[in-house]
Structure 1
Amino acid sequence: MRIESQCVGYKKYFKDVAGEVVKPGTLEGGDFIWIDESHAAVGNGPRTNKAGISQLQKILGFDVELMTVDLPQPDHPDDVLHLMSIISPIDEDLAVIYEKFAPNSFIEWLRKSGARLYNGIR
């Protein structure tokens, strides 16, 4: 049985597709987040690899600053599935963040990008 890439499926319904991540690259949708028009973040972990991140940067172009967030090794396999396990946008410049698992470099980068952060776990 042949499984089509998501890109092939998207091309059936949408006119333009910016690009496609191909093997050996992998990219999980939950590992990608736009911060604003010129900033985005991607999680490097079990579902997204460095080859996929490299392809994503080429698709986005170098006008977009892409922050790679190395996802922590969780105590339990379900702790951090992907980047969206750490951050959830709730408005244009506001996000809930799980600081326990967010690397300090990511939090600092978000703040420099103008994002307001709310620690969802206290």
Structure 2
Amino acid sequence: MPRIGPGYDEPEYDNYDPTWEAQNTPFRQWLFAKLENAGFEHADEMATSSAPANRYNGLDDLEIGALALLTRTSPDEVRAAHKADIAEWQREQQLRTHPDLAVLDATLDHIAHRH
């Protein structure tokens, strides 16, 4: 299976981003919850160190299989969580590229929370 996410030669891939430790991404949240449910004592640290790589390095079949084993889920569940995170990341990038969309997004969020 091809790698999902930016390739090593693409500009988005810089091999390290200091904000990784603070990013509370959907994949990190999913990974933390699954690791915690699987009984990992240091689930937060493992999610913190493992989750950002899915955005910047992608996941290959070996990594997906290892995460499925650790989280006691199926490879398809790991792929689905990963793809959902990448979709959220793409949305974030669109908002950064088009600031007017950020205003629209905030307005729609406000409307959604009122109802």
**TM-score interval (norm. to shorter):** under 0.3
Give the TM-score taking structure 2 as reference length. 0.27
- Of Structure 1 and Structure 2, the greater strand share is in 1
> Between Structure 1 and Structure 2, which shows a larger proportion of helix residues?
2
TM-score by length of structure 1 reads: 0.26
Task: Answer 1 or 2: higher relative contact order, Cα 8 Å, separation at least 6.
Answer: 2
